[in-house]
């Protein structure tokens, strides 16, 4: 629910399509977004919003449970990849500037680290790491700020999500507006639970 609420309240984010606590693959639950239009070029603010929403589940854990779990591992990976691309590929760091740097953290898995000379110094590598860390820490702080500001809504929507297991984007909009949802469709819920057991 942390992902979904932050996704609703942060500007420049894709609309929340659905949130579910039914496990999918390695994910314990999924928040899906539906882009309003196809785009081949992303703005800096759009990428930052994607990082903030990616870190929102971890932020919700910190706020509600006062600890972190391994459940946010994939979110951290995705957020870190985007932050590193901002710095190394897309020139979106004021500190580093409009320069493209090879991402050696990815290349080492391809066996290229040995064969390709480093194209920047250790000092530059430290600057890159610092900038990536700064982007991630600021994004995490923004996610926590939004969730703390909407803490009552976080508790309310989480409780409803536990009962229903799936919330459509329109249903989440209703809850945000303070409206009540129609009664739970037990036939639909049992069908979803049957799918969950089959998986």
Please name every residue paired with 18 in a beta bridge, in sequence order, or none if there are none: 32, 168
Q: What is the pTM of this model?
A: 0.80
Predicted local confidence at residue 101, as pLDDT: 87
Contacts of 102 (CB under 8 A, 6+ apart): 88, 116, 119
DSSP 3-state of 60? helix
Predicted local confidence at residue 4, as pLDDT: 93
Structure tokens that stand for 171 in this block: 């249903």
Residue numbers in the chain where pLDDT is lower than 50: 107-116
Percentage with pLDDT > 90 across the chain: 50
């Amino acid at each position: 629910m942390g992902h979904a609420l932050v996704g609703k309240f942060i500007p420049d984010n894709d609309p929340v399509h659905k949130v579910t606590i039914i496990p999918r693959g390695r994910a314990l639950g999924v928040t899906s977004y539906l882009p309003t239009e196809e785009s081949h070029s992303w703005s800096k603010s759009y990428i930052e919003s994607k990082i903030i929403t990616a870190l929102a589940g971890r932020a919700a854990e910190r706020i509600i449970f006062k600890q972190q779990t391994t459940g946010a591992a994939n979110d951290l990976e995705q957020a870190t990849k985007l932050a590193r691309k901002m710095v190394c590929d897309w020139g979106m760091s004021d500190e580093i500037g409009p320069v493209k740097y090879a991402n050696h953290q990815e290349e080492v898995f391809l066996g290229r680290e040995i064969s390709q000379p480093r194209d920047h110094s250790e000092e530059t590598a430290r600057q890159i790491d610092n900038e990536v860390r700064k982007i991630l820490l600021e994004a995490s702080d923004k996610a926590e700020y939004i969730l703390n500001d909407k803490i009552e809504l976080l508790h309310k929507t989480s409780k409803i999500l536990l009962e229903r297991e799936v919330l459509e984007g329109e249903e989440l909009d209703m809850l945000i507006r303070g409206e009540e949802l129609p009664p739970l469709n037990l036939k639909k819920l049992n069908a979803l639970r049957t799918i969950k057991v089959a998986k």
